[in-house]
Structure 1
Amino acid sequence: MQTQPKNIIYTGVAGTGKTYRLQQLAKQYSEAVTPIDEAQLLATLVETLNWREVICLVFLQKKEEGQELLKVGEIVEHPIFQAKAGINQRTDNLKSSAWGTLQQYSPVDSKTVNYKNKASQAYFDKDETSSWYLLYDAILLLADLQSLLNDYQKSVSQSQQNQKIIQRYSMVSFHQAYGYDEFVEGIRPEIDANTQQMRYDIKAGAFVKLCEQAQQDPNNRYAMLIDEINRANVSQVFGELMSLIEPSKRAGQANAMSVNLAYSQIPFSVPSNVDIYATMNTQDHSLTVLDSAFRRRFEFVEMLPDSATLGQVADVDGAMIDLGKLLDGLNGRIMATLGGQAGLGQTYFYQVQTVADLLKVMARQVMPQLLNVAQHQPQALAQIFRLEDTMIPWLVPLTSQPVQPQFAINSAMASQTSYQLNPNLIEAVEGSSTDNEFIKVEAFKGLY
């Protein structure tokens, strides 16, 4: 098992899939567990049976799947046969055992099986291709075996339905009001079950609870997943645990540290089998800045916009619009004018299935965000949306009067103090306009 703990923060602009990365990590720290081991159920089924009964079970089970002819190899490889071999601690000559049993319990007058010491009751026979089958008359004698098989299958089904997912992680989302009391420990009101009076107890927070679980289960790894870590005051949230989360200071490490928690005064250290993953939006400058003491305890992995995950949609005439090229074109000009922190993530376009979806995303998400970021940089907006080049302006100078798309777009627009969404674009999104210029491929290719 990995012994060195991980502290990783995934950074990037909005829409690059950082939260999705946490969700995928959560699956890695989860395990499906069934209350009853299926292998044990199978072993119990065949433990007292002889080879003839085991092979009959194989035929009955395969018959339920619609297969009645079986080669010897298929019989030997079947889980029921293998379970019996395991109980008998047999690995060699299994085909010989199967062959001998099949031949022994074949009909005396069989035309395909030449065997001297045949049993009085036949159960199997084979055809000219050496495929074996269960005799029809023998099926009537196997009611008890069929009942055993039914009970086994019912137990397996119930076990699968009762399957539980063990979660070895805790996921929280930081916000401005999130604090030490929720993450480490705090004093919370509680009603006494006996007196019905209010009392105040010290309760462990999300991180301490996870560490307690991990400490009791040292052979498995646990994960603390924190979404939007820079939305809270991390120094206040982590408190005295700031030093303890450092990989070299975890329990069991060379420089292990322990502190007394603020409320309970209980000695506490962070287990080495706890990993910490977080996401951080680098685009919103109103969020809390992580100080250098906190940052040095983490690795930072930048998640860049990934246009390769995007597909295509068709415009009203059937021409294809490449969403990846659209994203790359916009981001290229955004980086050149506003910098990388103003970029767009690919998830903006994940739900786009039609050109109408694309138009709505552009008008209600992408463009309002860029208008906000570049509100004091009209020259940047003019370059990002190629206002001087395109015949279909997405933005128009801010005015109290609607601007019609036939108005010429020229360099004079760059001197305007601000822009607004073209009213005709808004009408197209709302479906109140019959003008479909905005939903043709030329409108979007102009932004490649």
Structure 2
Amino acid sequence: MGNKWFIRPGEKGRLWNEFLNNKCIGIGWDGDESYSGYESLDDVKQSHGTNDANSIWYFYNDMSEGDVVIAVNGQNTVLGIGKITSNYLEPQHPENPGIEYLHTRLVHWLINEQITLSYNLANKTITPVNEEWKWEEIKNGYIQMNNKYKDIFAQLENGDKMDISQLVKYFISQLDSDELKNHRKEHIKSSEMVREKLTNQYSEALTEEEMLEILNDTDAAYGARYNIESIFANNGGFDNFKVDLITSLESTKPNENDINQALKSFNNMGIGFLSELLCLKEPNNFWIKNSVVDDFFSRMNIDIKGTLPYGSKGDQGEYYIAMKPHMSNILQNLKINGLKDATYMDVDLFLWWLKDIDVPNITTQNKSLLHNTLVHTKNVILYGPPGTGKTYAIQQFTKSFLKDQLSKPKSFEEMKIELLQDLKWYQVVALSIYLNGKNETVKVPDLKNHDIIKFYFEKIRGRERNFSQTLWGQLQSHSNPNSETVKTENKSSPTLFDKASSSEWYLLPEGIEYVENNLSEAIDLFTGNKQIYEEKDFGHYCTFITFHQSYGYEDFIEGLKPIVYEGDVSYKVGSGVFKDICERAKNDPENNYVLVIDEINRGNIAKIFGELITLIEDDKRSGKSNEISIKLPYSKTDFSVPSNLYIVGTMNTADRSIALLDIALRRRFTFLEMMPDYSIIDVEIDGVNIGSLLKELNGMLSALIDRDHQIGHSYFCEVVELEEEQAKNKLYFVWYNRVIPLLQEYFYNDWEQLKMVLGDFVVEKDNNSILEDRLVSKNYEIKNFENDWSGFSTALNKVYLGGELTGDIDTDY
């Protein structure tokens, strides 16, 4: 969702009906004079008082398509809520609805009922809604009035596609990537060079080589079809060009006349070159106009020419100035969302980044919400009815979230950690002895100082001292059973070591063989025989698990696990999936790790998390202000949750409502709702509109049960991707094998309600029984339209177009 605005429809709300009927909002200052003449808020203040000037500037410059407007009246009355659907329409614009207030924006009004607020509203025409609690009270007030507004607010807050603010948030979350970081540094460097050398003070000293370096370093140069030196020849030679360019950059202001004049001053130097140099010179006042910007406007359905005054010439300068509201909107969004020092150079960087992004893909509400939410918290649960794409959304999110770190080659340090963290202590001891001379002997004090031993105990096991006893124990327990020098009785397999009479340890022949057969990858890495620039494994950074009723602490954290060897059973402490990924994240603080818990509500949270539920809180993690570490009950080791681990869960609300969730879990996770997206399946198959069918079906389910028991769009995604004949067969399969069984579960043994939903698909059963006359209730069955597309499609159409039994269902939800 974009920004939110309070607006007053005239004195005492007298123009509210005019706003509502004409699907717009408007203000009246300045009569029929366009606001496009204002270049800044200060310009407006020269003609109006502060409050009026702010309202004009908000309306002309700061409001954007996708923003939410809340019509208000008096001290605390909300009249209605809508979403802005157009740019600023000046009085002469052909789409202007021509209401009493001549300056307008079009609005899709979604709510036109009144509620009363507990707080007083500012007595100004337009006010931004900066406090989230004010919006929450409005939302809760309408939902309490009528539950149907819950879906409307979900539409307002999420939408089918991201608006600019959501795209910007996602862009900012990617700014740590090497590509964007380097591109931004290049912009800053180019700007510093232009501001230093393209000045009157430096003009005489400026050389042709320096000018060529500046011009060749622009993005515009990459698209040029001619040699840059030709610009000099076409503009009176280098010396004349230098003086004219510097004069133009020093004197040009961001208005139509100055831009046109600057363009006329040069040959073979279009708006792309000039606007980029102006932006590099004054990045807070000028923006860049190039093919990337044009592509952005096209993709976002922004018609710049359509915003020009009626009858205008539409020259380059006029077009450039008409871009300002959109470019300024992006700039303000960059600043609001965390890039406080943003300039129009960052707007250009954002648009260059966006050109390679699949906008329909990244602009789905769920992926953007995840990215945005995980900036603020480490624990998120996606919840909603079955089939709304929760798991798919997380899969797409994790690929994007981990993309940068996966694209980098593994470092030696990372590969060393990956190899060693999966090894047992005795394996690391054997490997260390082997690498320091497989036929050599070593004393324990020397072995203790081997690099691999120290790294393993300190980095992997988190023990910085007092591990001599562990070394002795491992050497003794895996020593030769017939050793004359090692008298320990409890010896384990495999047999690897023995001790000489001089108290020096060595690898047995079978120990050498064991290392070479089982630890060859480690040998290659540490001896330099292995190429270390291999691709990173997605599964190393992301673990996917599913909770179920029998899932427990031992599976998740740690527990005693049986080991069978030669018929004997012994037990040892084994790590669970959560402890494993925590260890990996702790040992690799430079990278992010994700634990995905599917069906998180199916598990017994208290049983699975145990005492660790507190440790996952953001401020309780390692390195945070309130860090907590506990001693695990089985291994007796200290444990904390690293800050670079993200926990993302899914929850099916048809199984259990959020209200019934363990309160400890609810308090520690942020919940994001995912509802059916009908636009994805808005396809007609031989007379059956799949999106409309599902929407109507869900309307009835919401009315008869609740909104948590709707059916998600993913049930039909395969159907809409096929050619018509295949799609018809697939629709039949999905309807009879997935949808109807789910509905039968929802309406278990309640055939009357099931018939209200499915209409002609539920028919009365012919009993043919001697008890027929004694039966009180009717018997029903599912009618099979196999090989009867006409009957099947007719029955489906009755579900969403209305029929004898379905026409009176209230689907206003």
For Structure 1 versus Structure 2, the TM-score category normalised by the shorter chain is: 0.5 to 0.7
Counterpart-to-counterpart distance in 2, 1:332 and 1:162 = 52
Deviation at 1:175, TM superposition (A): 1.3
Residues 191/291 of structure 1: CA separation in 2 closer, same or farther (3 Å cut):
same
1:382 paired residue number? 755
Please point out which of 736, 746, 757 is paired with 1:363.
736
**Aligned ranges 1:29-48 → 2 under 5 Å:** 29=402, 31-34=406-409
Counterpart-to-counterpart distance in 1, 2:668 and 2:623 = 18
Deviation at 1:162, TM superposition (A): 5.6
Please point out which of 544, 551, 563 is paired with 1:171.
544
2:799 paired residue number? 447
Residues 379/219 of structure 1: CA separation in 2 closer, same or farther (3 Å cut):
same
Tell me the alpha carbon deviations over residues 39-63 of structure 1, each in whole angstroms, 9 at most, x when there is no partner: xxxxxxxxxxxxxxxxxxxxxxxxx
1:438 paired residue number? 791
1:9 paired residue number? 381
Residues 246/363 of structure 1: CA separation in 2 closer, same or farther (3 Å cut):
same
Deviation at 1:208, TM superposition (A): 0.8
CA contact (8 A) 1:4 1:272 kept: no
**Aligned ranges 1:158-197 → 2 under 5 Å:** 163-166=535-538, 167-190=540-563
Gaps (5+ residues) in structure 2?
1-175, 177-373, 413-530, 770-775, 801-813
Measured on the aligned residues, the alpha-carbon RMSD in Å equals 3.2
Deviation at 1:197, TM superposition (A): 5.3
2:390 paired residue number? 18
Counterpart-to-counterpart distance in 2, 1:298 and 1:345 = 23
TM-score, normalised with respect to structure 2: 0.34
Deviation at 1:199, TM superposition (A): 3.0
**Aligned ranges 1:366-445 → 2 under 5 Å:** 366-385=739-758, 387=759, 393-400=760-767, 419-422=780-783, 424-425=784-785, 428=786, 431=787, 435-440=788-793, 442-445=794-797
Q: Which amino acid aligns with 1:355?
A: K
1:52 paired residue number? none
Tell me which protein shows more helix as a share of its residues.
2
Residues 371/202 of structure 1: CA separation in 2 closer, same or farther (3 Å cut):
same
Counterpart-to-counterpart distance in 2, 1:35 and 1:252 = 25
Q: Which amino acid aligns with 2:602?
A: R
Deviation at 1:364, TM superposition (A): 1.9
Gaps (5+ residues) in structure 1?
38-158, 388-392, 403-414
Deviation at 1:261, TM superposition (A): 0.8
2:647 paired residue number? 276
Q: Does 1:307 align with 2:678?
A: yes
Please point out which of 599, 613, 618 is paired with 1:242.
613
1:260 paired residue number? 631
CA contact (8 A) 1:5 1:272 kept: no
Please point out which of 571, 574, 577 is paired with 1:200.
571
Residues 36/286 of structure 1: CA separation in 2 closer, same or farther (3 Å cut):
closer
Deviation at 1:278, TM superposition (A): 0.4
Q: Which amino acid aligns with 2:560?
A: I
Counterpart-to-counterpart distance in 1, 2:768 and 2:698 = 31
Deviation at 1:5, TM superposition (A): 4.2
Counterpart-to-counterpart distance in 2, 1:269 and 1:233 = 21
Counterpart-to-counterpart distance in 1, 2:638 and 2:779 = 59
- The DSSP-based 3-state class of the residue aligned with 1:350 is helix
- The DSSP-based 3-state class of the residue aligned with 1:357 is helix
Q: Which amino acid aligns with 2:797?
A: K
CA contact (8 A) 1:12 1:281 kept: yes
% identical equivalent positions: 36
Residues 310/191 of structure 1: CA separation in 2 closer, same or farther (3 Å cut):
same
Q: Which amino acid aligns with 1:337?
A: L
TM-score, normalised with respect to structure 1: 0.59
Counterpart-to-counterpart distance in 2, 1:186 and 1:417 = 55
Deviation at 1:203, TM superposition (A): 1.3
Q: Which amino acid aligns with 2:594?
A: A
- The DSSP-based 3-state class of the residue aligned with 1:294 is helix
Deviation at 1:417, TM superposition (A): 5.5
Tell me the alpha carbon deviations over residues 178-224 of structure 1, each in whole angstroms, 9 at most, x when there is no partner: 111111011112356xx995432211111111111111111222111
Counterpart-to-counterpart distance in 1, 2:757 and 2:533 = 54
Residues 191/382 of structure 1: CA separation in 2 closer, same or farther (3 Å cut):
closer
Counterpart-to-counterpart distance in 1, 2:548 and 2:689 = 36
Which fold has the larger relative contact order, with Cα–Cα distance below 8 Å and residues 6 or more apart in sequence? 1
Residues 398/253 of structure 1: CA separation in 2 closer, same or farther (3 Å cut):
farther
Tell me the alpha carbon deviations over residues 367-392 of structure 1, each in whole angstroms, 9 at most, x when there is no partner: 2221221235444333323x3xxxxx
Residues 29/288 of structure 1: CA separation in 2 closer, same or farther (3 Å cut):
farther
Q: Does 1:333 align with 2:700?
A: yes
Counterpart-to-counterpart distance in 1, 2:579 and 2:551 = 15
Residues 375/417 of structure 1: CA separation in 2 closer, same or farther (3 Å cut):
farther
- The DSSP-based 3-state class of the residue aligned with 2:597 is strand
Q: Does 1:228 align with 2:595?
A: no
Tell me the alpha carbon deviations over residues 68-90 of structure 1, each in whole angstroms, 9 at most, x when there is no partner: xxxxxxxxxxxxxxxxxxxxxxx
Deviation at 1:341, TM superposition (A): 2.1
Tell me the alpha carbon deviations over residues 320-340 of structure 1, each in whole angstroms, 9 at most, x when there is no partner: 422111110111111112211
1:213 paired residue number? 584
Residues 254/312 of structure 1: CA separation in 2 closer, same or farther (3 Å cut):
same
Counterpart-to-counterpart distance in 2, 1:417 and 1:237 = 47
CA contact (8 A) 1:218 1:273 kept: yes
**Aligned ranges 1:57-206 → 2 under 5 Å:** 163-166=535-538, 167-190=540-563, 198-206=569-577
Equivalences, count: 294
Tell me the alpha carbon deviations over residues 101-143 of structure 1, each in whole angstroms, 9 at most, x when there is no partner: xxxxxxxxxxxxxxxxxxxxxxxxxxxxxxxxxxxxxxxxxxx
CA contact (8 A) 1:10 1:301 kept: yes
Residues 34/219 of structure 1: CA separation in 2 closer, same or farther (3 Å cut):
closer
Deviation at 1:342, TM superposition (A): 1.9
CA contact (8 A) 2:767 2:779 kept: no
Deviation at 1:419, TM superposition (A): 3.3
Counterpart-to-counterpart distance in 2, 1:271 and 1:162 = 26
CA contact (8 A) 1:18 1:279 kept: yes
CA contact (8 A) 1:305 1:346 kept: yes
- The DSSP-based 3-state class of the residue aligned with 1:351 is helix
Counterpart-to-counterpart distance in 2, 1:175 and 1:274 = 22
Counterpart-to-counterpart distance in 2, 1:206 and 1:16 = 27
Q: Which amino acid aligns with 1:447?
A: V
Residues 417/293 of structure 1: CA separation in 2 closer, same or farther (3 Å cut):
farther
